[in-house]
Amino acid sequence: METITVELGARSYPIHIGEGVLHDKELLKRTVAAQQVLVVTNDIVAPLHLSALVDTLPLSVETLILPDGEQHKDLATFERIIDRLIVLGFHRDACIVALGGGVIGDIAGFAAACYQRGIEFIQAPTTLLAQVDSSVGGKTAVNHRAAKNMIGAFYQPSAVLADTATLQTLPPRELSAGLAEVIKHGLILDAEFVVWLEDHIEALLALDAAALGHAIRRCCEIKGTIVAEDEREHGRRALLNLGHTFGHALESLGGYSRWLHGEAVAIGISLAARVSAALEMIELADCDRIDALLKRARLPEGVASGVDVEAMLASMQLDKKATSAGLKLVLLDAIGHAVVKPAPPRALLHEVIDRHICA
Amino acid sequence: METITVELGARSYPIHIGEGVLHDKELLKRTVAAQQVLVVTNDIVAPLHLSALVDTLPLSVETLILPDGEQHKDLATFERIIDRLIVLGFHRDACIVALGGGVIGDIAGFAAACYQRGIEFIQAPTTLLAQVDSSVGGKTAVNHRAAKNMIGAFYQPSAVLADTATLQTLPPRELSAGLAEVIKHGLILDAEFVVWLEDHIEALLALDAAALGHAIRRCCEIKGTIVAEDEREHGRRALLNLGHTFGHALESLGGYSRWLHGEAVAIGISLAARVSAALEMIELADCDRIDALLKRARLPEGVASGVDVEAMLASMQLDKKATSAGLKLVLLDAIGHAVVKPAPPRALLHEVIDRHICA
């Protein structure tokens, strides 16, 4: 097991990464100290990992099994969690453990942030996407039908328990979705890591334990450092949204069910690169290199037929990086170096999207 | 105009108190700097104060008028505010101004805390209760049908604009409800202020400007100091809940419509004093003195016929000060000195409630 610390002063917390951390009785005893614990998970993860976790936890705990899928990450499901906490008579010193992927972490984290104005919260991510990205950094939210993650809070967990053994049961599509966020971390600020990924993408797809361990640790290091510098995204943290302005718009247009989050982000990364090339910030060869890596990770890099480009541009205006001064985009001025820029003219965006993804 | 600062480091903010602050163009220009502004108010306050505020603000603003009353402080109304912000295309640098009493401040503040994970928020309290208590300190929330303020956030405003002229239009019942929180501040930690209130309660009921100004300033000083010491209520801030464990239970049992918040708190203060006397922390004469002051403020100090004592005790268990170790109560060991104590045996609570308020 390896441990990385996210440095946030009094709210610093550890990320424990390794095979079997959810079966480590000593670790769970130290980490989950509350007397009242609710484990929130979904109907896909529950049969695979819930009973093992419940058996390993030091005290008897309550469980809540939600339906799987981004389309359930809404206020109605949030209210189900709150209702359950109330019925259980949970107090302010209670704890929620989120066992699952990014959806479970986001919604359970938002419930923890709001119940009695904030109770303890522990992330137990079981997907690659959650282990490399969404479980770290304290962004919690639910979706609005018009736009993604519009209702939420910055609310840090007290610990992250990333058990890499859970990835062995991950469906291939979910594994690829997680790789989109892994590739994103490299593109943002670690060109060497991109080269490493180009050398190890097949090993990752084959669930090679050493390769997965390295990728997860490197992503957590990159993300933890940026979050420590800029917790509430007043500046640098926005870089982590490479591909997300496009991706969120696609997810919303797809009713939060057509693409997995990571798939939409992959298309978004490809689009961000094409926009960067159109602005002569990078070469077209860089775009092709990025698309090739996404494709080898079995991600949709440039295929999104049937998307209404104008509807997509309208949805992008709701992006949280937009201010009253206009939309901003995370673009690349090199592989391994992202920057935040005011969006180029709408006509250019329209053309890039139209040419690239609707082909 | 007087200004008190709540000292919270980078999140410190001013409370401006005075007659006409909402008509002060210079002050509003300095205070409301956002390009996108939504004023949230209710259907009682809007005809009295909304157009004056809108005319005084430097830019054109949007408005949202909610139905009046604690029974609307729920997730459905919260969602109405969020929907409106989305439809308006408001960005993360937008601002919500809460114009109204405690209900408007709590629900608009919670919407500001959650929209895009947090936008700017300004309190413009128009009731005595909001000016002396709820607009200061950053507690925002909505109610759950089972218990009050169960879903919320600690989220500080960037400024409080307390225009004492708005109190001239306050219905007498609302004025008295505000006096319950004024009296509470004295009982918690300022015996001299209690004596001052005993000398000036009629002046306050007569809306004497000097008396109101003094009472509002003193309450904001007391509350601001406690909040600066303990923003998230890990300790001392709980003292501000004198009367509220009983009061919240009464409000919930009354469907959030039988009593105004301040009325329920008045009954709760009286009960907290009686419990303190039963534990020999204060004298019965102190209870009579407190009841006399509440009565002179035209508050229900000991009358709550038809309350099911067992249901009230059950609702009190959901109090946010309760932990898995049990319920806690704010009690008095002198007039002007509150303390947090583990609750006495249920039988004693039952007897005090039964004898005192169901008589």
Cβ contact, residue pair A324, B91, below 8 Å: yes
Active site residue ranges of A: 117, 139, 181, 223, 233, 237, 241, 244, 248, 261
Cβ contact, residue pair B318, A89, below 8 Å: yes
CATH class entry, domain B2-169: alpha beta
Nearest by Cα to A145 from B174, B171, B231, B87: B87
| Per-position pLDDT tens, chain B of length 359 | 999 999 999 999 999 999 999 999 999 999 999 999 999 999 999 999 999 999 999 999 999 999 999 999 999 999 999 999 999 999 999 999 999 999 999 999 999 999 999 999 999 999 999 999 999 999 999 999 888 999 999 999 999 999 999 999 999 999 999 999 999 999 999 999 999 999 999 999 999 999 999 999 999 999 999 999 999 999 999 999 999 999 999 999 998 899 999 999 999 999 999 999 999 999 999 999 999 999 999 998 776 778 899 999 999 988 888 888 889 999 999 999 999 999 999 999 999 999 887 65
B237 is an active site residue: yes
What residue type is assigned to position B38 of the chain?
Answer: L
Torsion of CA A308, A309, A311, A314, to 10 degrees: 170
What residue type is assigned to position B347 of the chain?
Answer: A
Exposure b/e, A77-103, CB count within 10 A at least 16 = b: bbbbbbebbbeeebbbbbbbbbbbbbb
Q: Look at the alpha carbons of A102, A107, A108, A110 in this order and tell me if their dihedral is positive or negative.
A: positive
Q: How many CA atoms lie within 13 A of A110 on its CB side?
A: 32
| Residues belonging to chain B with any Cβ–Cβ distance to chain A shorter than 8 Å | 34-36, 75, 79, 82-83, 86, 89, 91-94, 113-118, 139, 141, 144, 146-147, 149-154, 232, 317-318, 320-324
Cβ contact, residue pair A322, B91, below 8 Å: yes
**Interface probe, candidates A38, A61, A88, A91, chain B, greatest B C-beta count within 10 A:** A91
Residue B89: predicted pLDDT: 94
Cβ contact, residue pair B36, A150, below 8 Å: no
Q: How far is B291 from chain A (nearest CA, A)?
A: 31
Average pLDDT over residues A291-298: 97
Q: Do domains B2-169 and B172-357 have the same CATH topology?
A: no
Residue A358: predicted pLDDT: 61
Find, in chain B, the residue whose alpha carbon is nearest to that of A110.
B114
Find, in chain B, the residue whose alpha carbon is nearest to that of A325.
B35
Cα(B295)–Cα(B289) distance, integer angstroms: 10
Cβ contact, residue pair A93, B36, below 8 Å: no
Cα(B357)–Cα(A5) distance, integer angstroms: 54
Cβ contact, residue pair B116, A150, below 8 Å: yes
All residues at 6 or more sequence positions from A117 whose CB lies less than 8 Å from its CB, including other chains: B139, B141, B149, B152, B153, B154, B232, B320
Residue B321: predicted pLDDT: 84
B328 is an active site residue: no
Nearest by Cα to B130 from B249, B32, B49, B38: B49
CB-nearest partner of A93 from B149, B317, B324: B324
Phi, psi of A153 (to 5 degrees): -150, 150
Cβ contact, residue pair B115, A150, below 8 Å: yes
Cβ contact, residue pair A324, B146, below 8 Å: no
Active-site residue among B148, B185, B218, B237? B237
Residue A303: predicted pLDDT: 66
Please give the structure tokens belonging to residue A172.
């291939």
Q: A-chain residues within 8 Å CB-CB of B147?
A: 86
Average pLDDT over residues A117-144: 97
Instruction: Report whether pLDDT(A302) > 80.
Output: no
Find, in chain A, the residue whose alpha carbon is nearest to that of B76.
A75
- Whether ipTM > 0.85 holds is yes
CB-nearest partner of A317 from B35, B89, B154: B89
Cβ contact, residue pair B151, A320, below 8 Å: no
What residue type is assigned to position A348 of the chain?
Answer: L
User: What is the number of helices (H) and of strands (E) in chain B?
Assistant: 13, 11
Cα(A340)–Cα(A144) distance, integer angstroms: 25
Q: How far is B304 from chain A (nearest CA, A)?
A: 26
Cβ contact, residue pair A82, B151, below 8 Å: yes
pLDDT in tens, A19-59: 999 999 999 999 999 999 999 999 999 999 999 999 999 99
Instruction: Point out which residues pair with A95 in neighbouring strands.
Output: A37, A120
Cα(A29)–Cα(A31) distance, integer angstroms: 6
**Interface probe, candidates A83, A116, A119, A145, chain B, greatest B C-beta count within 10 A:** A116
How far is the CA of B267 from the CAs of A54, A274, B274, B290, B357, in angstroms? Answer: 44, 66, 11, 11, 8
Residue B119: predicted pLDDT: 98
**Alpha-carbon A231 to chain mean position:** 16
pLDDT band for position A314 (50/70/90)?
Answer: very high
CB-nearest partner of A92 from B36, B117, B320: B320
B356 is an active site residue: no
**pTM, 2 dp:** 0.95
For chain A, give every domain's residue range.
2-169, 172-357
Over chain A, what is the mean pLDDT?
95
Q: Look at the alpha carbons of A33, A34, A35, A39 in this order and tell me if their dihedral is positive or negative.
A: negative
Size of interface A-B (CB pairs under 8 A): 95
Residue A270: predicted pLDDT: 96
CB-nearest partner of B116 from A89, A118, A320: A320
Q: How many CB atoms lie within 10 A of CB A259?
A: 21
CATH (one of 1.20.1090.10, 3.40.50.11540, 3.40.50.300, 1.10.540.10) for B172-357 = 1.20.1090.10
Residue A324: predicted pLDDT: 83
B143 is an active site residue: no
Cβ contact, residue pair B153, A154, below 8 Å: no
Q: How far is A70 from chain B (nearest CA, A)?
A: 18
Active-site residue among B70, B181, B263, B301? B181
pLDDT band for position A359 (50/70/90)?
Answer: low
